[in-house]
């Protein structure tokens, strides 16, 4: 039998979760060139049940990254183009009266998918933005008093342009706090951009991309994340960094307990991606900018003096001693 046209699936009997995930990363990188860290961070969110805010200039591959990830893991994918006239019902769905049955029928909106791309989320009104709040936090959707369970896994990946302010609505703090990570792709390196031109000269590689794992395997990987060991001193380390941001002299609003929990879950997922069943301090330090940065609001005088969130995070991390953990053998 000719199998060349069949998608290459990772052998489900292989018992090392990071091997599955490396296959996914490699597959996505057929489309997104030179952005391994960004791909890994998106997987961190997917495995830990969080959501991602992709903030960057147009044309760097934000939408392609989301599409490539969805195709690689065999998830259902929906795209919502946020515009000023978008209504909450355009996101969640609506109940329509059926004259034949004389009953209301629910017509689901695009939010009912495994991976949802909220494209240019800051172009719609706060009322429509808030339609995502319940779904992102609780994994449920309530329409006309009826609650619907969202598919699992459920991941919202929202994009926004950081330099365009006319006709946009900044995300409120409550919305930002529900994103596990905030990621910036940035422009590609010279050689990477040349590779992009070569790959897309006669067509886009996204059209040929195949899935490498299925939903059942993805659920197994999520369960593997839940079994990752985290020493008590590392939990204390996370909370101390969060508290340091709240007490910083330049901070008006520091990291919430939801942010501390986000860093814990993200660190557990990152450990699995790199091939460990335990968290180390470097996992936490690597993820602090992505999990904490968008949750901090600076005082106005600090912004005017040139202080940035990155400065606050560096100060907060320097003020907390890095804990010494017991060595654990890799299984």
Kind of pairing between the strands at 103-108 and 93-98: antiparallel
pLDDT for 9 equals 45
- 149 and 13 Cβ atoms separated by less than 8 Å: no
- Residue 329: predicted pLDDT: 45
Per the document, the length of the chain is 331
Question: What's the CATH fold of domain 227-318?
Answer: Helicase, Ruva Protein; domain 3 (1.10.8)
Residue 165 has a pLDDT of: 61
- Residues whose CB is less than 8 angstroms from the CB of residue 242 and which lie 6 or more positions away in sequence, other chains included: 254, 255, 256, 257, 259, 260, 263, 292
- The sign of the torsion formed by the CA atoms of 149, 155, 160, 162 equals positive
How much is the pTM?
0.87
Closest among 185, 212, 181 to 28, alpha carbons compared: 212
In contact, 225 and 268? CB cutoff 8 Å: yes
Distance CA(177)–CA(325), nearest Å, equals 30
Which CATH architecture best describes the domain 17-212?
3-Layer(aba) Sandwich (3.40)
> 195-215: b or e for each residue (b if 16 or more CB lie within 10 Å)?
ebeeeeeeeebeeebebbbbb
Instruction: State residue 126's pLDDT score.
Output: 85
The DSSP code sequence of 232-281 is: HHHHHHHHHHHHHHHH-TTEEE---HHHHHHHHHHHHHHHHHHT-SB--H
| The predicted structure's pLDDT at residue 142 | 82
Domains 17-212 and 227-318 are alike in CATH topology: no
DSSP character at residue 229 = B
- The segments of the chain whose pLDDT lies below 50 read 1-15, 329-331
Please state the domain extents for the chain.
17-212, 227-318
* Strand 155-160, strand 140-143: pairing: unpaired
């Amino acid at each position: 039998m000719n199998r060349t046209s069949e998608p290459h699936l990772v052998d489900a009997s292989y018992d090392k979760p990071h091997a599955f995930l490396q296959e996914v990363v490699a597959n996505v990188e057929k489309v997104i060139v030179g952005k391994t860290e960004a791909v890994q961070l998106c997987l961190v969110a997917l495995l830990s049940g969080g959501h991602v805010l992709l903030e960057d200039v147009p044309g760097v591959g934000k939408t392609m990254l989301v599409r490539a990830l969805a195709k690689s893991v065999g998830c259902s994918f929906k795209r919502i183009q946020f515009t000023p006239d978008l209504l909450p019902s355009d996101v969640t769905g609506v109940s329509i009266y059926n004259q034949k049955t004389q009953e209301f029928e629910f017509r689901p909106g695009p939010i009912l998918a495994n991976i949802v791309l909220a494209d240019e989320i800051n172009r719609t009104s706060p009322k429509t933005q808030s339609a995502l709040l319940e779904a992102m936090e609780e994994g449920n959707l309530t329409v006309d008093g009826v609650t619907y369970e969202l598919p699992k896994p459920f991941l919202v990946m929202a994009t926004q342009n950081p330099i365009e302010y006319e006709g946009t609505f900044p995300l409120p703090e409550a919305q930002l706090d529900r994103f596990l990570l905030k990621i910036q792709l940035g422009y590609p390196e010279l050689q990477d951009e040349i590779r992009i031109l070569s790959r897309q000269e006669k067509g886009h590689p996204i059209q040929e991309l195949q899935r490498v794992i299925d939903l059942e395997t993805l659920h197994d990987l999520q369960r593997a994340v839940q079994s990752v060991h985290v020493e008590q001193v590392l939990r204390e380390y996370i909370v101390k960094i969060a508290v340091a941001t709240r007490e910083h002299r330049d901070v008006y609003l520091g990291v919430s307990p939801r942010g501390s929990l986000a860093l814990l879950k993200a660190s557990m997922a990152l450990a699995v991606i790199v091939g460990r069943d335990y968290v180390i301090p470097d996992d936490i330090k690597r993820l602090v900018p992505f999990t904490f940065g968008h949750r901090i609001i600076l005082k106005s005088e600090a912004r005017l003096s040139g202080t940035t969130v990155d400065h606050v995070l560096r100060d907060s991390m320097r003020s907390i001693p890095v804990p010494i953990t017991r060595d654990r053998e890799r299984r």
